[in-house]
């Protein structure tokens, strides 16, 4: 199935952890690092958002940059996640700019724009960005983990 080439596997508990971080940080954006092995997310690491305008930007705090190094030292692929409290879970121009530093890295995004009682809930999407190109990555959520 060519439509699944490049799909990423992630555990429900990992999705829940990212959504919980996003909700706790709202109305600011939150961000974090993910470690990926062979197309599967193996860990989710919350980091601090040091952006001057965190309502619509994220910037991983320098105190947390070591987490990226740790993932690399373990021989894993570095990916990222961040939230959009009020906008769609699609990379902004700023996000595409960030990806200049990490072309092709997994970028998980959660939007809380419909995360209200009676609405559809958080939206969760994955991308790989090769600036300026944005590739949508299919997500396979393992409900049992």
Q: Which residues bind Zn ion (CB under 5 A)?
A: 92, 95
Q: How far is the CB of 89 from Zn ion (least distance, A)?
A: 9
Q: How far is the CB of 30 from Zn ion (least distance, A)?
A: 11
Annotated catalytic residue 29: yes
Of 11 and 137, nearer to Zn ion (C-beta) is 137
* Cα 109–chain centre separation: 4
Residues 6+ apart with CB under 8 A from 85: 22, 25, 26, 27, 28, 29, 55, 111, 112, 113
What is the distance between the alpha carbons of residues 113 and 123, in angstroms, rounded to a whole number?
8
Of 59 and 95, nearer to Zn ion (C-beta) is 95
Of 37 and 125, nearer to Zn ion (C-beta) is 125
Single out the catalytic residue among 29, 59, 123, 143: 29
Beta strands in the chain (DSSP E): 8-11, 31-37, 40-47, 77-84, 106-111, 123-130, 133-137, 139-142
Q: How far is the CB of 92 from Zn ion (least distance, A)?
A: 5
Which residue number has the CB closest to Zn ion? 95
Task: Provide the annotated active-site residues.
Answer: 29
């Amino acid at each position: 199935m060519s439509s699944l080439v490049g799909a990423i596997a992630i555990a429900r508990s990992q999705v829940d952890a990212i959504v919980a971080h996003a909700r706790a940080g709202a109305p600011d954006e939150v961000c974090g690092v993910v470690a990926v092995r062979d197309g599967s997310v193996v860990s989710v690491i919350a980091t601090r958002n040091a952006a001057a305008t965190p309502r619509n930007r994220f910037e991983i705090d320098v105190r947390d940059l070591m987490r990226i190094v740790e993932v690399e030292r373990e021989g894993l692929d570095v990916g990222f996640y961040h939230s959009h409290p009020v906008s769609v879970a699609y990379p902004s121009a700023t996000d595409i700019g960030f990806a200049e530093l990490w072309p092709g890295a997994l970028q998980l995004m959660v939007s809380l724009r419909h995360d209200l009682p009676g609405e559809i809930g958080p939206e969760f999407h994955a991308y790989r960005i090769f600036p300026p190109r944005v590739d949508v990555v299919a997500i396979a959520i393992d409900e049992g983990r």
